[in-house]
């Protein structure tokens, strides 16, 4: 599989770009593949693609733009695009896609392209980033999926409220705010979801990871998380 994997953070506000960048640094990410920190290898300010931009100048421009993208690399060398919107969504679809999103190409963590142990490392790096950003962004809901799955967004990306009434499908990774946790049956019920990982974060959000890999798991789960959360 060679496609883009996207994780979208639905929130009421966008944090400061510098704060988003700092959270990425806290996850041992770097603005260059080589690990240097003097300049961004690649950013996008609205529709303008830039390369080799000084960090402070780039952050100021990104903060003033309506939207932007920062390319970053994890400790293992996985390239991740951090995208954000600094303006309010214009329609339900934009609101559903989220104020902040992470995207990356699937061959970087695909066992058919990379060693399985490296793929596990990169999945853990991605989950660490999601946890760090969740605490900062305070999202209402976080969804995930391949670009192709996102095109069928009506089943997985909630465009209305309450969230539970606008989600018909769970994909690999989901984060629920405390309010949304209550919509799905309450804390104890959500924490009992049969999934590979269920973590309650310090912010009160609950992180659900259905399997050990987004689409090529080494382990399987016996019960359906969707039956537990969506059909109960």
Pairwise pLDDT comparison (226 vs 64), residue with the higher score: 64
Q: Residue 149: what pLDDT?
A: 72
Q: Residue 131: what pLDDT?
A: 97
Instruction: Report the pLDDT averaged over residues 79-106.
Output: 89
For residue 182, give the H/E element and its range: helix 178-183
The answer, yes or no, to whether residue 154 has pLDDT greater than 70, is no
The answer, yes or no, to whether residue 152 has pLDDT greater than 70, is no
Q: How far is CA 182 from CA 17, 42, 43, 91, 179, in A?
A: 30, 40, 38, 26, 5
The answer, yes or no, to whether residue 97 has pLDDT greater than 70, is yes
Is there a cis peptide before residue 162, judged by omega within 30 degrees of 0?
Answer: yes
Q: How far apart are CA 113 and CA 228, in angstroms?
A: 34
Nearest in space to 70 (alpha carbons), one of 32, 27, 14, 123: 32
Instruction: Report the pLDDT averaged over residues 73-83.
Output: 97
Q: How far apart are CA 43 and CA 74, in angstroms?
A: 16
Share of residues in the chain with pLDDT > 90 (%): 76
Nearest in space to 230 (alpha carbons), one of 172, 155, 147: 155
Angle, CA of 39, 132 and 38, to the nearest 5°: 10
């Amino acid at each position: 599989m060679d496609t883009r994997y996207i994780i979208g953070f639905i929130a009421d506000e966008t944090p400061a770009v510098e704060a988003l960048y700092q959270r990425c640094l806290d996850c041992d990410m770097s603005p260059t593949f080589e690990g240097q920190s003097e300049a961004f290898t690649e950013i996008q300010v609205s529709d303008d693609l830039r390369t080799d931009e000084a960090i402070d100048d780039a952050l100021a421009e990104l903060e003033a733009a309506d939207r932007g993208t920062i390319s970053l690399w994890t400790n293992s060398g996985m390239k991740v695009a951090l995208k954000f919107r600094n303006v309010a969504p214009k329609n339900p679809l934009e609101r559903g896609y989220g104020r902040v999103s992470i995207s990356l190409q699937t061959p970087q963590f695909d066992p058919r392209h990379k060693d399985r142990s490296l793929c596990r490392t990169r999945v853990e790096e991605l989950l660490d980033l999601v946890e760090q950003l969740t605490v900062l962004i305070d999202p209402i809901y976080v969804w995930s999926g391949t670009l192709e799955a996102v095109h069928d967004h009506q089943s997985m990306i909630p465009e209305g409220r309450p969230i539970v009434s606008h989600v018909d499908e769970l994909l690999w990774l989901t984060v629920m705010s405390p309010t949304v946790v209550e919509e799905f049956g309450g804390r104890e019920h959500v924490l009992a979801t049969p999934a590979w990982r269920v973590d309650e974060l310090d912010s009160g959000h609950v992180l659900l990871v259905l399997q050990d890999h987004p689409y090529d798991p080494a382990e399987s789960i016996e019960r359906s998380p969707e039956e537990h959360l969506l059909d109960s």
